[in-house]
Structure formats: structure tokens, C-alpha cells
Amino acid sequence: MTNLRTDEFDYQLPPELIAQTPIEPRDASRLMVVERATGEIGHGRFRDLLDYTRSGDILVANDSRVIPARLLGRKASGGRIEILLLKPLEDRRWEALVGGKRVRTNTELHLEKGGVRVNARVVEDLGEARRVLEFDRPIGLLLDELGEVPLPPYIHEPLRDTERYQTIFSRADGSAAASTAGLHFTPELLLSLRERGVILAFVTLHIGLDTFKPVATEYVANHAIHSEWASLTPEVAEQINRAKLAVGRLVAVGTTAVRTLETAALRSAGVPGSLREASQIQVDLCPWRPVAAFDGPTDLFIYPGFSFRVVDVLLTNFHLPKSSLLMLTSAFAGRALMQRAYQAAIAERYRFFSFGDAMLIL
């Protein structure tokens, strides 16, 4: 699969199918059900998820919370700039996307909102719009006053309630974008799943640059995915391992949960260091410990040819053309079946992307 071309994951989407606002209630969104074994495609509502789960399954979601990572300011020369914080580095430094003209190393940036003033300096140019910024004081606790929740660039309607771009189980601050597959859950649906005997568990992956960035290389394997911080606790690892040993299915809520879980499986199998080439790694899964707890960066890039070790069912949204997220779902379901599913979604007028509808891949 090393010769896969990026344009093999392209498709044409009518602009009116890009969802601009969230649907109410959350679980009223549509749900496409894709059967890998038979190739059948069905249609329902998200609340129908209950019909596709069974006692002993373990549903694992990403509990990362979107921070007010969008900052507006000016250069010392007066030119406007826009900052999207991606991840904290050491001390007062952050990796960020910086929009504006001639934002070079050592450029001074000034931010002010609601009486709060912070200065920053560009200390490193990482290429394209990526920069390392050093602030004159820690800004983590100031973001609620200085920043805004960053909506994706394809959403043009203002969001009346910023909590609609958070999952109901988000708790760990750190993402620049929402784990959108989780946006469909309501407290009532989670309760119904638990009453059915489904185990609920949470991992954390703080979503960064690659959610926004299409794959630009000609060949998929040449894409450099950026590492993101993830965590799977010993308690959750034990929950997963017990459920898998009891032949329960692992239902991953979203591509970020998949990357965290499959990273944990590779760590359990003893794969050291970077996981960048993990799609080419053949390792034996430990039969009594499918996943291992970990806390740190993951650069796992999943595309067709990857061998899934722990995820049995994937719940996801409809993703952008040529995105690493579409490549991941194609790796899980098969590229031909995903192409057919997306064609069906367009024909059936599904809503796409962050506030759009969902897909359950069985």
C-alpha cells in the first residue's frame, strides 16, 4: 500500500452539504450503518446506535476539551494577526498557526481583549504558517478571557452556544478542535447504553494541526503527520483488556480514539519509539493484554495497509477529501467500500464534517 496516491481519497462534495450549524437534539443526526462483512449500507438516526450494541461491548471516547485557542492581535508594526494555538511546549512557549503577512522570527505580537494584555515573540519558524511563540507570561489561565473557541474554516455561521462544539463528556482541556464523532451523544443515550450493559470508558488525545491540514503530498506514505499528546490510564487499559478477553467488542468513538487505542496496542506489543511507520510493522498482539497504559506523544499515521489490533467497531463523522481522517476510515472499512458509502451519503443528502451526520462501521 506504499504507492497509494493522495488523490485516490478525493471526492466532490456539493457545498450545501457542509453542515453549518449543529442539529438539535444531538442524537437526532442521521446515522449511516456500514457492514464490512457484507458491504451493506443502511440508514437511520444516531439514537439507533443502541440497536447495534450489546452487553459486554466497551465504548471508548475521547474526553479532550476544546480550549479557546483562537487569538486576535497585532504586530508591533500594526498589522493584524490571527493565532491558533496548537499545543503547549516548555515554559511559556506554544506551537501555533499564525495568520498574517511577514510573521518572521523575532516578530513581536501584541494581544489585548477585555483589559487583558499579553505580548509574544516568534522564536521559531516551523514552515508554512506554523510558528513557535514565546509569551511574556503563562497564558493557559488567561485563554477564557483572551481567546475564542476556534471553529473549522468551512463553518461560516456563528455558533450561539460554544458548548455545542464540545462533547458532553469533555473534561481535559487541550484540543484545538472537537472530537466530532462524540458531539452526537446525549446524557440519555449514554445512560441507555450503560443500562444495556455497554461499558463506557474514556481516553484523551489533544487534537492539533492534522485535523485542519489536508494531505498535500502526492503519495500518502510521504505525508508527515504531526504528533499529538494522548493518554490511556492504567484503569482504562484494565477495562479494555478485561472486556476484550470476555469477547466484548471495542467500539471507538472517532478517529482520535482509534489512534490512541491502536497506539496503546502497539505499546503493549513492545513497539518502541516513533510509530510513524507502524502501518508496516507486523507484531504479535499479547493475548492477555491487548493494550498498555501510556501517556505521551503519538505520531501514529493510519492508512490502508494498517493492521488494526484492538478496534472492532468505528463510529465516525464524514471527513474532508484527502484528509488523514478519511484515510484512517478507509483503512478500517476498505477504500472501495468507503468510496461507495460517501457516494451514498451525497446522494442521500447527508450533512458533512464537524456538525454533520455520523457513520457506524461494523
Q: What is the pLDDT of residue 344?
A: 98
Q: What is the pLDDT of residue 249?
A: 97
- Contacts of 161-164 with CB under 8 Å at 24 or more apart are 164/22
Query: Quick check: 300 and 263 in contact, CB under 8 A?
Result: yes
Domain 70-146 superfamily per CATH? QueA-like (2.40.10.240)
CA pair distance 42, 64, nearest whole angstrom: 30
CA pair distance 217, 201, nearest whole angstrom: 36
CA pair distance 236, 241, nearest whole angstrom: 9
Q: Does domain 6-66+162-361 have CATH number 3.30.750.24?
A: no
Q: What is the pLDDT of residue 156?
A: 93
Can you read off the three cell numbers belonging to residue 56?
459486554
Q: What is the pLDDT of residue 269?
A: 77
Q: What is the pLDDT of residue 291?
A: 94
CA pair distance 140, 176, nearest whole angstrom: 13
Residue owning grid cell 519509539:
273
pLDDT in tens, 184-224: 999 999 999 999 999 999 999 999 876 667 899 999 999 98
Ranges of the chain whose pLDDT falls below 50 = none
Q: What is the pLDDT of residue 271?
A: 72
Q: What is the pLDDT of residue 274?
A: 64
CB within 8 Å of 229: residues ≥ 6 apart:
87, 174, 205, 206, 296, 297, 298
Q: What is the pLDDT of residue 226?
A: 82
Residue owning grid cell 499579553:
118
Domain extent listing, the chain: 6-66+162-361, 70-146
